């Protein structure tokens, strides 16, 4: 009684797992058309209540601690990968403090240092990469973007010691660790499968590498001049007076790299694929840099990024259509009355927020399926219908790691909202803007067949990404 409508299905345990799993956004749109903004479907035997639209996002993402839990869902997957005592292997209040520690290293002075580091990584990557020998050719771009993301993120966030180990084998360990991050592990996390044994070994090895670096730094008097995230974390103290232990520093470093890697690398791959489908936009990006920064295209700085609005809007528009996290899950801890409806969500259900549904709703975004970065200009005929300066007016709240927007009235939430909101948004934006700007300086792209078409999405892993091979044709500018 009073439970949201249940999606029709033939088989009890399987329910809608297959149709959902094959194409979650399509499933959400179709079910919403049939059942409305709130409905329940069976996912691997579990009653899963979806509530889409701004009210649904607010209900789930700003749910109270006594009502909803992220750690109850995610810990089986994340704890073997990140390690103990961090993120979802500790009380939420501890995660909030950890997020505060991680955030202090992501400030403007740090970003000013990161821009040249990332720009140099991009240039040297393409100069060295065997896939880009000669003047033109074809490349499976997601693979290159995954490599480039880990080089740029590890170098800027974790410092040069860690970055140099990526040339010497730590990449293979991260790959093993990654294998723990598959949806099948929601069910099989505890099975002694070969990839889980490799995952556990990789976790221990990487954590030990970080702990050795921490020990070396402490022995040297702690500071080698670079106030990077490691440095901030190893000097942080919890409110109860306990210094953050080295193993937690190591595990947070792994969590940060893993959280950023998949989302950012998938997004940068989509950016390149979209640019290949729209060579006119690539040229507009190139001209934007020439006009704003000068004909000789000097080394990129943090301040330059603000002068490149189209470059910024590329990221925004790509995340609107290709947000890597299509489903956010929460366990229900006490029965939840849905405001303004007769529905109650019982504790036997889990909740699912899908912010991508409103980001592709014609009510908010005219011609929603069109990738058109210029729509974010105020005078565009297809500008978003909601207040343009929503961010400025939005309600903010502090969950313990600084003010974040509640997102309660925003149809566009690629970085989530509320207590679990992303702390990496500014870093990801910076990294993606620098990568895009530098690549546009070096290359022209087009689809191999010269068409405007775009490849489909692979939803088989936890973060959605382009189906591979996703080949594009590249041609070097003058270098
Ligand atoms: C949380 C998206 C990059 C670190 C989240 C959440 C989303 C998200 C949707 C909320 C998850 C939930 O509510 O369950 C993205 C996207 C990115 C990105 C789209 C890139 C395009 C990064 C980067 C970092 C990072 C680069 C690290 C530097 C985190 C952390 C959380 C988080 C620590 C908090 C998890 C929690 O509190 O439960 N991200 N993220 N993310 N992200 Fe990101």
The verdict on the CB of residue 325 being under 6 Å from ligand 1 is yes
- Is the C-beta atom of 70 inside 6 A of ligand 1? yes
- SS3 at position 471: strand
Q: Is the pLDDT of residue 320 over 70?
A: yes
Atom of ligand 1 nearest to the CA of 330: 14
Average pLDDT of 5-33?
A: 93
Which atom of ligand 1 is the closest one to the Cα of 261? Answer: 26
> What is the pLDDT averaged over residues 24-41?
97
Between CA 341 and CA 16 the distance in angstroms is 24
Determine the Cα–Cα distance for residues 179 and 175; give it in Å rounded to an integer. 7
Q: Output the pLDDT for position 53.
A: 95
Classify strands 38-43 and 457-458 as parallel, antiparallel or unpaired: unpaired
Ligand 1 lined by 415 (C-beta under 6 Å): yes
Task: For ligand 1, atom 43, name the residue with the nearest CA.
Answer: 422
3-state secondary structure 253-275: HHHHHHHHHHHHHHHHHHHHHHH
Ligand 1 centroid to 414 CA: how many Å? 9
Of the listed ranges 12-16, 232-236, 326-330, 338-342, the least confidently predicted one is 12-16
Instruction: Confirm or reject: Cβ of 424 under 6 Å from ligand 1.
Output: yes
pLDDT for position 361: 96
For the cut 70, the answer to whether the pLDDT of residue 388 exceeds it is: no
pLDDT digits (tens, 9 = 90+) for 211-241: 999 999 899 875 666 678 888 999 999 999 9
Average pLDDT of the residues of the chain: 93
User: How far does residue 325's CA lie from ligand 1's centre (Å)?
Assistant: 9
pLDDT digits (tens, 9 = 90+) for 414-468: 999 999 999 999 999 999 999 999 999 999 999 999 999 999 999 988 889 999 9
Q: Closest residue (by CA) to atom 27 of ligand 1?
A: 424
**Around 129, how many Cα atoms within 13 Å sit in the side-chain half-sphere?**
19
pLDDT band of residue 167 (cuts 50, 70, 90) is confident
Q: What is the DSSP letter of 325?
A: -
Q: State in Å: Cα 446 to ligand 1 middle.
A: 31
Q: Report the candidate in 473, 467, 474, 414 with the shortest Cα–Cα distance to residue 443.
A: 474
| pLDDT confidence of residue 105 | 79
State the burial class of residue 11 (Cβ atoms within 10 Å of its Cβ: 0-12, 13-18, 19+): exposed
Q: Which of 271, 298, 270 is nearest to 282 (CA)?
A: 271
Both tokens of 455, joined, read: 């490849």
Arithmetic mean of pLDDT, 48-72? 96
Could you tell me the pTM of the whole model?
0.95
Percentage of residues in the chain with pLDDT exceeding 90? 77
DSSP bridge pairs for 465: 458
Is the CB of residue 352 less than 8 Å from the CB of residue 50? yes
**If DSSP codes are grouped into helix, strand and coil, which group holds residue 350?**
strand
pLDDT at position 222 = 59
DSSP 38-60: EEEEEETTEEEEEE-HHHHHHHH
Distance 260 CA to ligand 1 centre (A): 7
Name residues whose C-beta falls within 8 Å of residue 282's C-beta, 6 or more positions apart in sequence.
Answer: 275, 440, 444, 445
Comparing CA positions, the residue from 465, 472, 466, 461 lying closest to residue 178 is 461
Structure tokens at 406: 């509640």
pLDDT at 150 over 80: yes
For a ligand 1 pocket test, name from 263, 326, 419 the mutation site with the most ligand atoms within 8 angstroms of its C-beta. Answer: 263
431 CA from centroid of ligand 1 (Å): 14
The encoded tokens of residue 162 equal 């860690």
97-148 pLDDT tens trace: 999 999 987 999 999 999 999 999 999 999 999 999 999 999 999 999 999 9
In the chain, DSSP finds a helix count (H) and a strand count (E) of 19, 14
C-alpha 219/C-alpha 89 separation (Å) is 29
pLDDT the model gives residue 179: 81
SS (H, E, C) 178-243: HCCCCCCHHHHCCCCCHHHHHHHHHHHHHHHHHHHHHHHHHHCCCCCCCCCHHHHHHCCECCCCCE
pLDDT digit string, tens, across residues 403-424: 887 887 889 999 999 999 999 9
Distances (CA, A) of 251 to 88, 229, 310: 11, 12, 37
Q: Is 407 in the pocket of ligand 1 (CB under 6 A)?
A: no
Q: Of 33, 31, 34, whose CA–CA distance to 16 is shortest?
A: 31
Q: Span 298-305, mean pLDDT?
A: 98
Distance 420 CA to ligand 1 centre (A): 8
CB 80 within 8 A of CB 70: no
Query: What is the CA(300)–ligand 1 centre distance, in A?
Result: 26
Which of 417, 424, 432, 435 should be mutated for ligand 1, with most atoms under 8 A from CB? 424
C-beta of residue 357 within 8 angstroms of C-beta of residue 29: yes
What pLDDT does 265 receive? 94
Signed CA dihedral, 181, 428, 353, 27: sign only: negative
Which whole-number Å values give the CA distances from 430 to 99, 146, 183, 437, in the listed order? 19, 16, 29, 10
DSSP secondary structure code for residue 361 in this structure: -
């Amino acid at each position: 009684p009073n439970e949201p409508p249940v999606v029709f299905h033939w088989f009890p345990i399987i329910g809608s797992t297959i149709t959902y799993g094959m194409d979650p956004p399509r499933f959400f749109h179709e079910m919403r058309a049939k059942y409305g903004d709130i409905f329940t479907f069976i996912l691997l035997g579990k009653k899963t209540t979806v509530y889409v639209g701004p009210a649904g996002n607010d209900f789930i993402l700003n749910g109270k601690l006594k009502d909803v839990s992220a750690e109850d869902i995610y810990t089986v997957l994340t704890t073997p990968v990140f390690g103990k005592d961090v993120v979802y292997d500790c009380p939420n209040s501890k995660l909030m403090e950890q997020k505060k520690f991680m955030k202090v290293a992501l400030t403007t002075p740090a970003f000013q240092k990161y821009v040249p580091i990332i720009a140099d990584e991009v240039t040297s990557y393409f100069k060295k990469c065997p896939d880009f020998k000669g003047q033109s050719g074809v490349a499976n771009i997601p693979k290159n973007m995954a490599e480039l993301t880990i080089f740029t993120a590890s170098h800027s966030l974790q410092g040069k010691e860690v970055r140099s180990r990526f040339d010497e084998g730590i990449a293979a360990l991260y790959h093993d660790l990654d294998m723990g991050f598959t949806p099948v592990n929601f069910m099989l996390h505890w099975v002694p499968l070969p990839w889980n044994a490799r995952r556990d070994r990789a976790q221990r090895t990487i954590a030990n590498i970080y702990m050795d670096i921490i020990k070396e730094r402490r022995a040297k008097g702690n500071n080698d001049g670079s106030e990077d995230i490691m440095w901030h974390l190893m000097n942080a103290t919890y409110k109860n007076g306990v210094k953050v232990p080295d193993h937690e520093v190591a595990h947070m470093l792994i969590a940060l790299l893993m959280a950023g890697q998949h989302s950012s690398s998938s997004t940068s791959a989509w950016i390149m694929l979209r640019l290949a489908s729209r060579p006119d936009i690539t040229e507009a990006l190139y001209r934007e840099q020439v006009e704003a920064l000068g004909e000789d295209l000097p080394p990129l700085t943090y301040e330059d990024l603000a002068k490149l609005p189209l470059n910024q809007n590329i990221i925004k528009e790509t995340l609107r259509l290709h947000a890597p996290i299509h489903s956010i899950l929460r366990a229900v801890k006490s029965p939840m009355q849905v405001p303004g409806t007769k529905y109650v969500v019982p504790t036997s259900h889990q909740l699912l927020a899908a912010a991508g549904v409103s980001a592709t709703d014609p009510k908010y975004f005219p011609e929603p399926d069109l990738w058109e970065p210029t729509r974010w200009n105020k005078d565009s005929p297809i500008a978003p219908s909601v207040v343009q300066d929503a961010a400025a007016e939005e309600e903010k709240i502090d969950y313990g790691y600084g003010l974040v927007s509640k997102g309660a009235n925003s149809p566009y939430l690629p970085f989530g909202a509320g207590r679990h909101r992303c702390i990496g948004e500014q870093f990801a934006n910076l990294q993606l803007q620098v990568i895009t700007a530098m690549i546009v300086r070096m290359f022209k792209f087009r689809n191999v067949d010269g068409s405007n078409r775009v490849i489909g999405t692979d939803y088989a892993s936890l973060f959605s990404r382009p189906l591979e091979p996703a080949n594009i044709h590249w041609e070097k500018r003058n270098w």
